Chain A
Amino acid sequence: VDALFKYDAAEQQLAQSCKPWLKDPHHYKHVRMSALALLKIAMHARSGGNLEVMGILQGKVVGDTFIVIDSFALPVEGTETRVNAQAEAYEYMVDFLDTNKAVHRPENAVGWYHSHPGYGCWLSGIDVNTQMMNQQYQEPWLAVVVDPMRTMAAGKVEIGAFRTYPKDYKPADEGPSEYQTIPLDKIEDFGVHAKSYYPLDITFFKSSTDSHLLDLLWNKYWVATLSASPLISNRDFAVGQIADVAEKLEQAEGQLTHGGRLGRFVEKKKGAGDDSALSKICRDTSKLAAEQIKGLSTQVIKNALFNCRLT
């Protein structure tokens, strides 16, 4: 695994000169991300709070796999509402990469990451345009999206890696993708561009030093877990989720009263992953409920452990 951290400029040059992405838009299928890069991305995203943040991935490509070795934050925020927020940080990016090389960190930029606080890992219209432009001029290039709020609520990192297809490319039907909850105000943006990109699977790796350090941290991790109250720290997010479900219910109800057949909302299309509006709402509420139960269980266990007197 430590070999993954080694960077051979000549090898990279050769790999890129063949331009395999031109022959097959689906060429890159996998991402291996170092624990260091993941931690830095997660911490940066978390520090942004409700604002979207953005950064650059550094690493290399090996065959059909992106190896992300490191990452660095860019000094921009609120990236979803601006057409090209990255443009503000070009100078910083160039300076950073040049300085890296000066201190013998030869890895190139291989992609960008940004956060979607609370609304899941996918590419919006602006993201798709940004990534398409990047894939035109900066290949090989990867887009990574992380959701710090769902990470906190679910207790595992919500992260996705994507690449866009070329403009007029029609991808083969890939079948239903894994369901994810999308807030009502983002559903249109999610749906319109969903066929313009594909996900890559992400796995993680750690160096031997990382493993040792993380093992040491693990011995103290239990303290942080026991003294945390997810119900309180994720309260705003949970309230937002409940409000979103309420809005979706109102919309579904409105569609029913305005002439929709009842059957349309309870039938499931045979064989397809397509769900009715109500069944999607049910899945969203189940997820919400599961997170609440997890939070409450934590409080009950803490109460049993630390508050109950043994007689």
Chain B
Amino acid sequence: EDSCVLLREDLAAALEREEEWSRAAQVLSGIDLESGGRALEAAYKLRQNIKIAMLYLEDDDPVNAEMYIKKAAALISSCKDEALELQYKTCYARILDSKRRFLEAAMRYYELSQSRPSAACELKMDEDDRDTALRSAITCTILAPAGPQRSRMLAALYKDERSTKFSDLFPFLQKVYLERILDRSEVEAFSRGLKPHHLALLPGGGTVLDRSVVQHNLAAASRLYANIGTDQLGGLLGVAAEEAEALAADMVAEGRMPGSIDQVDRLIHFGAKVEVEALLRWDDSIRAACAKVGELLDSVTALGL
């Protein structure tokens, strides 16, 4: 079995040189890492799982990559190798990015951009690598669905001094952070720096970027208007009125935008409406009445009646 493993590793290396990423991953995944037949070090298993995940990522196969990175996740806590940890974090961030879990990816990219591996670490990380990670964090945050979590991430990135050196990206980041409505030309300029999977078409139509921009502009509109008709909102966002209403409904339901929708009058009201104030006051009155009943009963008991 040992010579079989060595053969697989050599074959995988050769396939990698030929840029046959998926085939190399398949060859490596044939190595039995799970059964107790051979005593394998956790570090070796971890390295192989990460390697397979990264190979699948090279071929834009995030589904298989995620399967192996999850196996690596179970082993990472027992491993103290800084280089492996760095590889794992990078790989996981890229998988999240490919799977369009942009906020999680952004958080991990940002964490990577702040890493400073020790001198003893096998893997070196220079300023360029950290800048790349930071750019990825900014891109993913902008593409993430609008809401409070994204706002927090945007704030962190905007206030990070290093962001200002990206002259092509920082003005757009600033506009997004300040919740200003984004216009077509700015969005197109931003889209030039995106990877293919960011511009992939979604099942409902439109790209990831389109959806993100529409949601952002909707959130921005909610800051400008107290209420707006669905037709007017559709015109503002460049989509049909029904789609604008559906988008607003999703954002309200997910707690990413406070508001309410009057479908009968085709109006969207922005801002948190405390609809239950009177009901809560009612509960207070009931509590007071019950307290009086309690006191009454105590008095009756005290009097021995």
Contacts and interface: CB of A to CB of B under 8 A. Distances in A.
6 contacts: A83-B76, A168-B36, A223-B287, A227-B287, A228-B283, A232-B276
Nearest to A227: B287
A223 B290 contact: yes
Interface in A79-102: 83-84, 87
Nearest to A84: B77
B84 to A, nearest CB: 14
Nearest to B72: A83
A226 B74 contact: no
A44 to B, nearest CB: 24
Nearest to A219: B294
A227 B279 contact: no
A129 B76 CA distance: 12
A239 B260 CA distance: 14
B276 A226 contact: no
Given A83-B74, A229-B283, A302-B286, A220 B276 contact: no
Interface in B39-92: 70, 73-74, 76-77
Contacts of B226: none
B253 A243 contact: yes
A218 interface: no
Contact of B286 (A87, A227, A232): A227
Interface string B131-145: 000000000000000
A222 interface: yes
Contact of B280 (A125, A232, A306): A232
> Do most interface residues of chain B lie in helix, strand or loop, or is the interface mixed?
helix
Interface in A177-203: none
Contact of B294 (A125, A223, A228, A302): A223
Contacts of B291: 223
Contacts of A226: 286-287, 290
Contacts of A84: 77
A220 B287 CA distance: 11
Interface string A205-227: 00000000000000010110011
Contacts of A222: 290
A220 B297 CA distance: 12
Contact-residue size bin, chain A (C-beta under 8 Å from the other chain): 10 to 19
A227 B283 contact: yes
Query: What are the 5 A-B residue pairs with the smallest beta carbon separation, nearest first?
Result: A227-B287, A223-B290, A84-B77, A227-B286, A227-B283
Q: Which one of B70, B77, B253 has the highest number of Cβ atoms from chain A below 10 Å of its Cβ?
A: B77
Given A83-B77, A223-B287, A243-B253, 15 more contacts: A83-B74, A87-B77, A125-B74, A129-B74, A226-B290, A227-B290, A229-B279, A229-B280, A232-B279, A232-B280, A236-B255, A239-B253, A302-B282, A302-B286, A306-B285
Contacts of B283: 227-229
Nearest to B255: A236
B123 interface: no
B294 A83 contact: no
A166 to B, nearest CB: 12
Interface in B4-35: none
A83 B70 CA distance: 10
B201 interface: no
Contacts of A236: 255
A171 B235 CA distance: 61
A223 B292 CA distance: 10
A227 B291 CA distance: 11
Contacts of A232: 276, 279-280
B284 A227 contact: yes
B224 interface: no
Chain B CB count within 10 A is highest, among A168, A223, A302, for A223
Contacts of B280: 229, 232
